[in-house]
Amino acid sequence: MGEKPSVTVIIPAYNEEKTIGSLIDRIPDGYEVIVVDDNSGDATSWKAREHGAKVVRNSNNLGPELSKQKGIFAARGEIIVTMDADGEHGPEDIEELIDMLVKGYDMVLGERRHLPRLTERLMAWMVRRRVRGIKDATTGFRAFWKRRMRRVDMSKSLYGTNMILQMRRLGMNISSVPIHTKPRRSNSRINPFKIIWNILALTRYVVFF
């Protein structure tokens, strides 16, 4: 058997000092962990470093999508895993995503059983019209090969859904596995204007895809 590929776990975080440490501690040993602190007003960066993560701190608030992109650029791993810091995703599922990825896929999505927000269900439905078999296009928990990102336009703000559409358009193989989830923390940020803009932008992208 060949040598196992290196893995980087990227966690965008905003004011998550209470949970970031325990989340990092649950990530399997041997993985590079990068926390992208989105200009938090608390001790998120300090806690992340204390628990062994590399920290990339934004000088202003960029949002989770651009924060993930910065993490990808800083990552050393051959495989990238992204996950949320709000407690919804469990690190215990990381290895299952990676196991599926090395079987020959370019990206594996962590599929939630229930999408809590109407906007997520709407965006997932729109993507399913173009990409069959993908039930949870808005999940932030996913694994993919870093080298594949050279062909994907990462300048798009619709990181999650746009990445899926671009990769499928390029002929890449995408799969998904069910994951365990917990309710999001109440301080998760919701910007209604950005949500509306994202839906309109995705509609345009799907129509002309």
**Could you read off the pLDDT of 70-86 as tens digits, one per residue?**
999 999 999 999 999 98
Q: How confident is the model at residue 9 (pLDDT cuts 50, 70, 90)?
A: very high
- 97-152 tens-digit pLDDT: 999 999 999 999 998 775 556 566 666 656 666 666 677 788 889 999 999 998 88
pLDDT value at 204 more than 90: no
Q: Starting at the earlier edge strand, list the strands of the sheet with 107-111.
A: 54-57, 32-37, 7-13, 79-82, 142-145, 107-111, 174-178
Please indicate, yes or no, if residue 32 is contained in any of the structural domains.
yes
Number of domains in the chain: 1
Please indicate, yes or no, if residue 202 is contained in any of the structural domains.
yes
Please indicate, yes or no, if residue 24 is contained in any of the structural domains.
yes
Which phi and psi (to 5°) does residue 77 adopt?
A: -75, 155
| DSSP 8-state assignment for residue 150 | G
How far is residue 107's CA from residue 134's CA, in Å, rounded to a whole number?
Answer: 12
What residues contact residue 109 under an 8 Å CB cut-off, 6+ apart? 134, 136, 137, 139, 141, 142, 164, 174, 175, 176, 177
Given a contact cutoff of 8 angstroms between Cβ atoms, the answer to whether 141 and 109 are in contact is yes
Alpha-carbon distance values, 174 to 1, 181, 200, 207 (Å): 24, 21, 24, 21
The CATH number of whichever domain residue 181 belongs to comes to 3.90.550.10
Given a contact cutoff of 8 angstroms between Cβ atoms, the answer to whether 141 and 89 are in contact is yes
Alpha-carbon distance values, 32 to 19, 57, 190 (Å): 19, 16, 29
Least confident of 21-25, 52-56, 157-161: 157-161
What's the mean per-residue pLDDT of the chain?
84
Range of 84's domain? 7-207
Model pLDDT, residue 37: 98
pTM score: 0.83
Please indicate, yes or no, if residue 2 is contained in any of the structural domains.
no
Query: What's the one-letter identity of residue 30?
Result: G
Please indicate, yes or no, if residue 1 is contained in any of the structural domains.
no
Please indicate, yes or no, if residue 74 is contained in any of the structural domains.
yes
181-184, long-range: CB within 8 Å, 24+ apart, which pairs?
Answer: 181/88, 181/89, 181/90, 181/112, 181/113, 182/87, 182/88, 182/90, 183/87, 183/88, 183/116, 184/84, 184/86, 184/87, 184/88, 184/116
Q: How confident is the model at residue 41 (pLDDT cuts 50, 70, 90)?
A: very high
Model pLDDT, residue 70: 94
